[in-house]
Amino acid sequence: MSRHDARIGAPALSHRAIALSAQRLTPRLTLLGIAVPLVVSLVCAFTDLSILFLPWVAFLVGVVSAALLRSWWALLVVPIALAVGTLPKIILISHGLPDMTFPGFVAGFSLFLPELISAAIGAAIGVPLGHELERSP
């Protein structure tokens, strides 16, 4: 314990205790980083899918999720999680998996592609941000 901590009366945490608490928190943050795009896309799919077509929504989801994941795998995980979250609604509408050769499916995917790209760009910005937040006390 330093002299400053002794004067204030604050409990001194050892570096080991801080590292152990960070190790316990990391799996929860990783799960949260994967759950955020899934939940956002599920909510948007069942309320108003046009919200998800706003590029800034996908971008912000990418930044937040990647900052929580703190891994470059977020570039792959976040857009896939956004796409997977919309699948239940597509399955409910089409009464099963849609025919991928149907021109409407390809057109719908081409409308969704810019949002996946903006989510990946947001993830590319969020990963260094997450690393920086992890380093700061």
> Which position has the higher pLDDT, 82 or 52?
82
CB of 62 within 8 A of CB of 119? yes
Is the pLDDT higher at 63 or at 99?
63
According to DSSP, residue 95 is labeled: T
Q: What is the Cα–Cα distance from 103 to 98, expressed in whole angstroms?
A: 11
Q: Which residue has the higher pLDDT, 38 or 6?
A: 38
The whole-number pLDDT of residue 62 equals 92
CA distance 7 to 102: 73
pTM of the model: 0.71
Which of 30-34, 69-73, 120-124 reaches the highest mean pLDDT?
120-124
Please provide residue 135's backbone torsions phi and psi, each rounded to the nearest 5 degrees.
-75, -30
Helix axes 55-69, 74-94, angle to 10 degrees: 130
Residue 12 makes CB contacts below 8 A (sequence gap 6+) with 1, 2, 5
- pLDDT for the residue 20: 46
Contact 36/97 with Cβ under 8 angstroms? no
Task: List Cβ<8 Å contacts ≥24 apart for 15-23.
Answer: 22/134
Token output for 111: 């409308």
